[in-house]
Amino acid sequence: MDESVAAALEAAVAADPSNTALRVHLAALLVLQGDARRALEHAQAALAVAPDDIAALAAARDAAQASGDPAKARAYARLVGPAEPASPAVSGRPVPVGGDDSDPDAHDGEDEVEVERPCVTLADVGGLEEVKARLDSAFLAPLRNPELRRYYGKSLRGGLLLFGPPGCGKTFLARAVAGELGAQFFAVGLNDVLDMWLGESERRLHGLFEQARRAAPCVLFLDEIDALGQKRAQLRHSAGRNVVNQLLAELDGALADNEGVFVLAATNHPWDVDTALRRPGRLDRTLLVLPPDQAARAAILAGALAERPVDGADVAKLARQTDGYSGADLVHLVEVASEHALQESVRTGELRPITQAHLGKALKEVPPSTRAWFAVAHNYAVYANEGGQYDDLLAYVRQHKLL
């Protein structure tokens, strides 16, 4: 492309930045010219104006591929299709960008989740002593004592469902279990599984379990399990039901050995989880993760304030005043107090530390977020408590007189 033509197109785009057709045309020319980075910038700018524009999605896919970013190219390809037309023989799956779907290894490694080895342990978890004791008996003690495990015939497999109000540390607990085991941690979210192509979500889910089996012993954490394993009676379309069926098959380990794969799942809505997922041998143990108690709140507040300038803050008093706050609420409260101190520093021209007054002001602005969850959960605990699965929740609600 001649430089004068490029300059003219750039000037036209600058004069009319919302002209998606012009940006897409310029992006295509820049890809041919070899400037994939600028091409991707223009394609993404076009998508910011028109997110569902097919031409802009295709331009972004081609620019990402040309810039050497295959992951981003695959993401765009899933929305608009592959760069080359797929063969009718392909069973609804997109041809990977730069790959051939006829090659059985073309998908190898494509859907693997990032693996981490957490350095946190249960000692880093404030409070939740009953939950930690249950986790120790279910997972940790059998691994530490192989002779006792063999004596009692305890298997190194199993599943546990963590539920409770949002922001109370379910994900952190799962990482701490992996840290205690010294095992690899696989965090699986919706974006790692769900796909628009028929049959692709099931294939991805199977691949993730296979990855975990190869890395055993490990912790496989399924976040938002109510979305992946929703009650099939609530699913009208077969695609969602097939994902639940695939998850059931993977948890059973009928075609593969799940020994050493510790499955932890988390949800804020356990009443939406398919009942078949909670039968013995699958997610057969359930733990209620409640808001932190006073000692845990003090530890969380102290940790949130540890690396900030503080003067005269009474953490113990604040912990007494924040009954019902989740861990996330407490961290947010400290963040709001920091903002007040920062604003005061801007007004006065002097650096101001966080004081008790800042924390008290933040406390008035940040209410506990768990009350709304308990209002909904209470109805299920009273009217849908099959087999006593919500007894702990009901006892907590009554003890704290939440309703």
pLDDT of residue 356: 94
Rounded CA gap, 287 and 313, in Å? 34
Q: Establish if 87 belongs to a structural domain.
A: no
Per-residue pLDDT, averaged over 297-312, amounts to 91
Q: What is the pLDDT of residue 93?
A: 40
Mean pLDDT of 286-315: 90
Percent of the chain surpassing pLDDT 70? 87
The answer as to whether 319 is a domain residue is yes
Q: Measuring CA to CA, how many Å separate 387 from each of 11, 17, 268, 383, 391?
A: 69, 61, 20, 12, 9
pLDDT in the model for residue 259: 79
Asked if residue 326 lies in contact with residue 128, where contact means CB atoms within 8 angstroms, the answer is: no
What are the pLDDT digits (tens) for 164-176? 999 888 888 888 8
Task: Report the CATH number that the domain containing residue 67 is assigned in CATH.
Answer: 1.25.40.10
Tell me the pLDDT tens digit for each residue of 92-102. Answer: 344 333 334 44
Mean pLDDT for the stretch of residues 359-381: 91
Q: Please tell me which residue, 86 or 49, carries the higher pLDDT value.
A: 49
Domain identity same for 125 and 198? yes
Lowest mean pLDDT among 16-25, 90-99, 277-286, 297-306: 90-99
CATH number of 272's domain: 3.40.50.300
pLDDT for res 355:
94
At 107 the pLDDT is 44
Where does the pLDDT of residue 329 fall: very low under 50, low under 70, confident under 90, or very high at 90 and above?
very high
Say what angle helices 356-365 and 327-348 make with each other, to 10 degrees: 120
Predicted pLDDT of residue 80: 60
The reported pLDDT for the residue numbered 156 is: 65
Residues 132 and 272 in one domain: yes
User: Does 102 map to a domain?
Assistant: no
- Beta sheet of 285-288, edge-to-edge order: 115-116, 184-188, 218-222, 261-267, 158-163, 285-288
Q: How far apart are CA 361 and CA 320, in angstroms?
A: 16
Q: Are strands 184-188 and 218-222 parallel, antiparallel or unpaired?
A: parallel
DSSP, collapsed to helix, strand or coil, labels residue 219 as strand
275 and 160 within one domain: yes
Q: What is the mean pLDDT of residues 319-331?
A: 93
CATH value at residue 355: 1.10.8.60
- Residues 130 and 13 placed together within one structural domain of the fold: no
318 & 198 share domain: no
Which among 30, 60, 80 is the end of a domain?
80
pLDDT of residue 384: 84
| Range among 60-69, 86-95, 212-221, 307-316 with highest mean pLDDT value | 307-316
Number of H helices, E strands in the chain: 19, 6
Mean pLDDT, residues 362-385: 90
239 and 151 in a single domain? The answer is yes
Spatial CB neighbours of 283, under 8 Å, sequence gap ≥ 6:
159, 160, 161, 225, 251, 263, 265, 273, 277
Segment 356-375 shows an average pLDDT of 93
Residue 185's DSSP bridge partners are 116, 219
Check whether residue 219 and residue 338 sit in a common domain: no
- pLDDT tens digit string along 205-258? 888 898 888 888 788 899 889 888 888 877 766 677 888 888 888 888 655 678
140 domain residue, yes or no: yes
Domain finish residue from 269, 288, 307: 288
Question: With 90 as the cut, is the pLDDT of residue 358 above it?
Answer: yes
pLDDT of res. 45: 85
Same domain membership, residue 346 and residue 199: no
Of 150-164, 355-369, 376-390, give the lowest mean pLDDT range.
150-164
Contact (CB, 8 A) for 269 and 226: yes
Position 231 scores a pLDDT of 85
Residues 256 and 326 in one domain: no
- Structure tokens given for 207: 């691949």
Alpha helix (H) ranges present in 113-228? 129-135, 141-144, 146-152, 170-181, 190-193, 200-214, 225-228
Bigger pLDDT: 148 or 80? Answer: 148
Of 390 and 98, more confident: 390
Find tokens 């506990």 and name the residue: 368
Domain-embedded: residue 91: no
Which residues are paired to 186 by β-bridges? 115, 220
Question: Domain range holding 63?
Answer: 3-80
The pLDDT mean for the chain works out to 81
Rounded Cα gap, residues 358 and 338, in angstroms: 8
Residue 145 and residue 280 in one domain: yes
% of the chain surpassing 90 pLDDT: 20
Q: Which has more confidence, 254 or 67?
A: 67
Give the predicted TM-score (pTM) of the model.
Answer: 0.67
Residue 368: asked if its preceding bond is cis (omega within 30°), the reply is: no
Has residue 148 been placed in a domain?
yes
Same domain, 309 and 267: no
Q: Strands 158-163 and 261-267: what pairing? A: parallel
**For residue 343, what pLDDT is reported?**
94
119 and 155 assigned to the same domain? yes
